[in-house]
Amino acid sequence: MATNNKLVRHLTGGWTWSGALRYASGSLIAAPQSQVSKINQYNFASGTPMVRVPGVPLYLTDINCRCIDPNNINQRILNPAAWQDVGAGQISPGSGYYSDYRGPHQVSENMNFGRTFQLREKMTVSVRAEFFNVFNRVTLGTPSSGNPTQTTTVNNLTGAISGFGYYSVGSSSNAGGQRIGLLVARFQF
């Protein structure tokens, strides 16, 4: 919309806008480590990954569905049945990481806009507003992925869940993403 009004042109013209948007695959999740421990038998439990069970899905819930509730004690994300232990004294034929075994997608959307106003010949005021996580997306880390044979427990006081394939409620490494805004003004003379 063009206008001949100098005040309107002065207030609405000359603004700059920029954004830094990053969309990435989720971080790789390490394959669970072997839990073999038998007396008087040599084993390679330390550093030996479990083996994937062919045809069994790795996830019980789509990790990227945006429908995960970390407070739901019945919502397990990772499938413990997808892994089996190696026998005592055996080295696992499995890999430590698999390209299709990942945490949720990682999204980072930051934007800013600003303008410099000329007050007098050598006097300016610059105003800039910056927003981090501008769309206020909740981000989840990786669900617990240590031992698929671990018994699931729930702390009735805090609601925290421990066990393979769950998000631990209250863990700062598992949830985040609140929008943050910053307003900056600079007077130059």
pLDDT of residue 115: 93
pLDDT tens per residue, range 13-24: 889 999 999 999
66: left (phi over 0), alpha (psi -120 to 50) or beta: left
pTM of the shown model: 0.70
Q: How far, in Å, CA of 54 to CA of 76, rounded? A: 20
pLDDT tens per residue, range 110-162: 999 999 988 888 899 999 999 999 998 888 778 888 888 877 777 777 666 67
pLDDT of residue 9: 77
Average pLDDT, the chain: 82
